[in-house]
Structure 1
Amino acid sequence: MYQDVTCVDLASQISQNSLRTTLLFQLLNYCTGRNGFQQESFAQFPRLQHRLNCLLFTAGEEAVRLQELEGNTVTIHTGLTGVQNDTQILWLYGSEKADVNIVICQVFRGETKTEYNRDRFRDRLQLDRGSGSLTIRNISREDSGVYTLQIIRGSFSVWSFRIKVYAPVSKTVISKAEKRSRTSNESCSPVCSVENGEDVTLSWYEEKERISSISRSDSSEHLHLPLNRTFLNIYTYTCESANPVSHQTTQLNIAELCDFNSDQSSVHCCGTVEVVVRLVLSAVVVLAIVTVLLYHFTSRTASDGGLARKSLLFTAGEEAVRLHELEGNTLTIHTGLTGVQSDAQILWFYRSEKADIKIVNSQVFRGRINTDYNRDRFRDRLHLDRSSGSLTIRNISREDSGVYTLQIIKGKTSDWSFRVKVYAPVSKPVIKNQPGSRSRKHSVSCSPVCSVENREDVTLSWYEEKERISSISRSDSSEHLHLPLNRTFPSYTYTCCSSVHCCGTVEVVVRLVLSAVMALATFAVLLYHFTSRTVSQTG
Structure 2
Amino acid sequence: MFLKLVLLCLCLWRLDGVFGDSGLESVIEGDSFSLNSGLTEMKDDDVIQWRIGDENTLIAEINKRADRITVYDDVLDGRFRDRLKLDNQTGSLTITNTTTEHTGDYDQLINSERKRFFLTVIVKSVSVKEGDSVSLNSQMKDDDVIQWWFGYEWTLIAEINVTADRITVYDDVLDGRFRDRLKLDNQTGSLTITNTRTEHDGEYKLQINSEIKRFFLRVYVLVPVKEGDSVSLNSDLTEMKDDDEIQWRFGDENTLIAEIYKRFDRITIYDDVLDGRFRDRLKLDNQTGSLTITNTRAEHDGEYKLLINRRFSSKVFRVSVYDPEELNEIKHIFTHQVHD
TM-score by length of 1: 0.27
TM-score by length of 2: 0.40
Highest RCO, 1 vs 2 (Cα 8 Å, sep ≥ 6)? 2
Higher helix share: 1
Instruction: Say which one has the larger Rg.
Output: 1
